[in-house]
Amino acid sequence: MQKKALVVDLVDERPSATLTTRPVNTLGPDLVRVQVAYSDINYKDALVLKARSGVVRDFPRVPGIDFSGWVIESSDHRFQVGDAVVGTGWQIGIQIDGGYQEIVDVPGDFLHPLGGKRTVQDAALIGTAGITAAIGLTKVLDSRALAVKDAPILISGVTGGVGGWQLAILAQLGYTNITAVTRQADLAPQLQEKGAAAIIAPETLRLEPRKPLARQKFAVVFDNLGGDFLADILAQVQQDGHVVSSGNASGIKLTTTVLPFILRGITLHGVDSVNYPVDDREELWQLFENNFWPEPARRPDFTEVQLAELIPLLTAYPHSAHHERTLVKLRSRRPRGLEQK
Ligand SMILES: NC(=O)c1ccc[n+]([C@@H]2O[C@H](COP(=O)([O-])OP(=O)(O)OC[C@H]3O[C@@H](n4cnc5c(N)ncnc54)[C@H](OP(=O)(O)O)[C@@H]3O)[C@@H](O)[C@H]2O)c1
C-alpha cells in the first residue's frame, strides 16, 4: 500500500519540499495508524521550509503539526478502528512525521479521541492554534483582572491562528472591551464582527524612547509577537494585570526591567502547547465541547486547500498577509467499512 505525502528534505543544505508517494509499512508496537481527514497550516509548519530555522533537525520529514482523522489500525488498546481522533503538538511534524500525508502512525499518547460534538473538521480548525489560545486563557480566566466583562484586553497577532482563537473565545465568553492589534487596517470590519471593540496598529503602542513604566492601559494582554512589542507592552499593563506570552512572530529578544513586576504586581505567563500534559489537554478539549466553542459568526474563518496546493502556500506563509485559518483537506469522509462510533 502507498500513501501520498509532502516530504521535506535538505538539498544543498536548504529544505526542499516534494509531493510524493511512500510505502505504508507494518505498524509498530504501541502505535496508532490514522487515516488523515484534515491537517492545517501553522506558523511552525511554514518554518520547516525556511533555511536554518532549526525547527526540524532530522530530514527527511513530513511536516504538519496537527491532524485529525479516523483510526484504521491500532497497537494501542485505548484506540479502536473507526475512532475519530485528533493529534496536536508532541513534536508531531517536527521529530516524527506529521499530518501532511494520507496516513499517520503515532503513539496513542499523542491522540485525543473525538467522542463528542466536535467533528474532524472542527478539531483541525482548533488545532495547535486553538489549543495554544485555550492554554493561555485558562491561566488568566479566574484572575481578578478578568472578573468584569468590560476589562480592557489586548490581543496582538490577532489575524493569525492563535490570536484569532483568543479573540473568538474571549468574545464568546462575553468580553466586550477587546483591542485587536494588526498591521492590516483593512481587516477592521471583519475583526469587529468577530468581537473586537477597537483595532490598532502595533506602532500605536510603541514607547519611543522605551520607558520602564507608562500609562496603564490593559488589564490582560495576549501577546503573539514577542520582541520589542512585548517589551513596550509590559510597561502599559494595569496594576495586578496579566500578560500571556504565546508567540514570537516579531522577535525572540526581550529587553525589559523588573519595574512592571515589582511596582505594579503584573504577572507574565508563558504558554507551551507542545509539551502540555495529557490530562490538562483533555480539559481543554472539554472546554471546546462547551463554552469555548464559538457560535458560527465568531468562529475563525478558514479556507480549505488540498495537499497538492500546499508547497507554495507554506513557502509564502511567513511573509504573506493572512487572516484566516488554512485547513488541509485530505479526506472528508470516513474510509468505507469503518463504523461510525
Ligand atoms: N507557545 C506555543 O506553544 C505556540 C503555539 C503556536 C504558535 N506559537 C507562536 O505564536 C505566534 C503566532 O502563531 P500563529 O500560528 O498564530 O501565526 P500566524 O497565523 O502567522 O499569525 C501571526 C500574526 O502575527 C502578525 N505578525 C507576523 N509577523 C509580524 C511582525 N513582524 N510584526 C508584527 N506583527 C506580525 C500577523 O498579523 P498582522 O499581519 O495582522 O499584523 C500574523 O497574522 C508565532 O510566533 C508562533 O510561533 C506558539
Q: Is residue 285 assigned to a domain? A: no
CA–CA separation, 62 and 45 (whole Å): 10
CA–CA separation, 256 and 211 (whole Å): 9
Q: Is residue 310 assigned to a domain? A: yes
Nearest CA to ligand 1 atom 6: 129
What pLDDT, on the 0 to 100 scale, is given for residue 60?
Answer: 96
Whether residues 105 and 229 share a domain: the answer is no
What pLDDT, on the 0 to 100 scale, is given for residue 271?
Answer: 97
Q: How many CB atoms lie within 10 A of CB 103?
A: 21
Express each pLDDT in 185-209 by its tens digit: 999 999 999 999 999 999 999 999 9
Ligand 1 centroid to residue 249 C-alpha, Å: 4
Ligand 1 atom at minimum distance from 162 CA: 16
Cross-strand partners of 156: 181
Ligand 1 atom at minimum distance from 135 CA: 3
CA–CA separation, 231 and 129 (whole Å): 23
Whether residues 146 and 96 share a domain: the answer is no
What pLDDT, on the 0 to 100 scale, is given for residue 125?
Answer: 97
**39, 45, 128, 183, best to mutate for ligand 1 pocket (most atoms within 8 Å of CB):** 183
Q: Is residue 276 assigned to a domain? A: no
Ligand 1 atom at minimum distance from 131 CA: 5
* SS3 call for 122: helix
What pLDDT, on the 0 to 100 scale, is given for residue 321?
Answer: 79
Whether residues 111 and 175 share a domain: the answer is no
Task: Tell whether the torsion through CA atoms of 61, 62, 64 and 69 is positive or negative.
Answer: negative
* SS3 call for 135: helix
Q: Is residue 158 assigned to a domain? A: yes
Express each pLDDT in 209-259 by its tens digit: 989 999 999 999 999 999 999 999 999 999 999 999 999 999 999 999 999
Whether residues 23 and 67 share a domain: the answer is yes
* pTM, entire model: 0.95
What pLDDT, on the 0 to 100 scale, is given for residue 320?
Answer: 81
Ligand 1 centroid to residue 162 C-alpha, Å: 7
Does residue 15 have a cis bond before it (omega within 30 degrees)? Answer: no
Nearest CA to ligand 1 atom 27: 249
Instruction: Compute CA distances 73 → 32, 76, 80, 101, 110, whole Å.
Output: 6, 9, 7, 16, 15
Q: Is residue 337 assigned to a domain? A: no
CATH assignment at residue 135: 3.40.50.720
Ligand 1 centroid to residue 198 C-alpha, Å: 19
What pLDDT, on the 0 to 100 scale, is given for residue 220?
Answer: 98
Nearest CA to ligand 1 atom 33: 250
Q: Is residue 22 assigned to a domain? A: yes
What pLDDT, on the 0 to 100 scale, is given for residue 184?
Answer: 94
Whether residues 265 and 318 share a domain: the answer is no
Whether residues 135 and 105 share a domain: the answer is no
Q: Is residue 288 assigned to a domain? A: no
Whether residues 31 and 141 share a domain: the answer is no
Ligand 1 atom at minimum distance from 272 CA: 3
Ligand 1 centroid to residue 159 C-alpha, Å: 8
Whether residues 139 and 266 share a domain: the answer is yes
Whether residues 9 and 73 share a domain: the answer is yes
- Indicate the burial class of 229 (C-beta count within 10 angstroms; 0-12, 13-18, 19 or more): buried
Give the binding-site residues of ligand 1, using a 6 Å CB cut-off.
42-44, 128-129, 132, 157, 159-163, 182-184, 202, 224-225, 246-250, 271-274, 321-322
Whether residues 134 and 252 share a domain: the answer is yes
What pLDDT, on the 0 to 100 scale, is given for residue 124?
Answer: 97
- Strands 218-223 and 198-200, by their bridges, are unpaired
Ligand 1 centroid to residue 32 C-alpha, Å: 31
CATH assignment at residue 301: 3.90.180.10
What pLDDT, on the 0 to 100 scale, is given for residue 341?
Answer: 54
Number of domains in the chain: 2
Widest Cα–Cα separation across the chain? 65
Ligand 1 atom at minimum distance from 202 CA: 33
Domain residue limits at 65: 2-117+293-329
Residues of the chain with pLDDT under 70: 339-341
Q: Is residue 281 assigned to a domain? A: no
DSSP conformational letter for 339: P
What pLDDT, on the 0 to 100 scale, is given for residue 54?
Answer: 86
CA–CA separation, 183 and 90 (whole Å): 31
Ligand 1 centroid to residue 15 C-alpha, Å: 21
Whether residues 193 and 299 share a domain: the answer is no
Ligand 1 atom at minimum distance from 245 CA: 1
Whether residues 105 and 15 share a domain: the answer is yes
What pLDDT, on the 0 to 100 scale, is given for residue 74?
Answer: 96
What phi, psi does 125 have (nearest 5°)? -65, -40
